[in-house]
Amino acid sequence: MTTAKTDARRRAAKSCAAMLASAASFAASCAAAQTAPVQSVTGRERTRLEDNSHQVGAFRVTPQIAVDASYDDNIYATDSDKRGDVYLTIHPQLDVKSTWSRNALNFTGYFDRDVHAKYTGEDVSEYGASLDGRYDISRQTRIYLGVDAARSAERRGSLSSFTQSAEPVRYNSFIANGAFEQDMGSLRLRGEGRFRRVTYEDALLANGTKIDQAFRAFDIYSGTAQASYDLNTLTSFVLRGTLEQRRYDLRPGDVGFDPLTAVDRSGDSTLVEVGVTREITNLLSGTVRLGYLSFRYPDPRLNDVNGVSYYANINWNITPLTTLRAIAQRRVDETTSPITAGNLRDEISVSADHELLRALILHADGRYAWINPSVADGVTSLIDNSSRETELGFGARYYIGRKLRLDADYTHQKRASDNPLLSYVSNIVTVGVSFMF
Instruction: Kindly indicate the confidence band of residue 142, based on its pLDDT and cuts at 50, 70 and 90.
Output: very high
Which amino acid belongs to residue 135? Y
Query: Can you give 9-65 as a three-state secondary structure string?
Result: HHCCCCCHHHHHHHHHHHHHCCCCCCCCCCCCHHHHHHHHHHHCCEEECCEEEEEEE
Counting every residue written for the chain, the total comes to: 437
Least confident of 107-121, 238-252, 278-292, 331-345: 331-345
Nearest-angstrom CA–CA distance, 114 and 123 = 5
pLDDT for 65 beyond 90: yes
pLDDT, tens digit, 9 for 90 and up, residues 317-357: 888 889 999 999 998 887 766 666 678 889 999 999 999 98
Least confident of 109-113, 371-375, 393-397: 371-375
- The DSSP letter of residue 206 is T
Nearest-angstrom CA–CA distance, 233 and 237 = 12
pLDDT of residue 81: 86
The closest of 102, 97, 167, 172 to 138, measured between CA atoms, is: 102
pLDDT of residue 26: 39
Least confident of 63-67, 132-136, 378-382, 385-389: 378-382
Q: What is the CATH number of the domain that holds 97?
A: 2.40.160
Higher pLDDT, 151 or 215: 151
pLDDT of residue 212: 83
pLDDT for 120 beyond 90: yes
Nearest-angstrom CA–CA distance, 174 and 147 = 7
pLDDT of residue 4: 46
Q: What is the mean pLDDT of residues 303-326?
A: 90
Higher pLDDT, 31 or 403: 403
Q: What is the mean pLDDT of residues 37-57?
A: 74
- The DSSP letter of residue 303 is P
Is the separation of the CB atoms in 51 and 60 below 8 Å? Answer: no
Report how far apart, in Å, the C-alpha atoms of 27 and of each of 209, 277, 287, 318, 348 are: 59, 8, 11, 20, 22
Counting the structural domains of the chain, the total is: 1
The closest of 107, 96, 190, 176 to 143, measured between CA atoms, is: 190
Higher pLDDT, 208 or 347: 347
Higher pLDDT, 10 or 76: 76
pLDDT of residue 264: 80
pLDDT for 20 beyond 70: no
Nearest-angstrom CA–CA distance, 163 and 421 = 8
pLDDT of residue 2: 46
Taken in order 46, 47, 49, 55, the sign of the CA dihedral is positive
pLDDT, tens digit, 9 for 90 and up, residues 401-432: 888 999 999 999 999 988 788 899 999 999 99
How high does pLDDT run on average in the chain? Answer: 85
pLDDT for 89 beyond 90: yes
Instruction: Kindly indicate the confidence band of residue 201, based on its pLDDT and cuts at 50, 70 and 90.
Output: very high
Instruction: Kindly indicate the confidence band of residue 259, based on its pLDDT and cuts at 50, 70 and 90.
Output: low
The closest of 24, 20, 31 to 234, measured between CA atoms, is: 31
Is the separation of the CB atoms in 389 and 367 below 8 Å? Answer: yes
Is the separation of the CB atoms in 347 and 367 below 8 Å? Answer: yes
Range of the domain at 204: 4-436
pLDDT of residue 18: 37
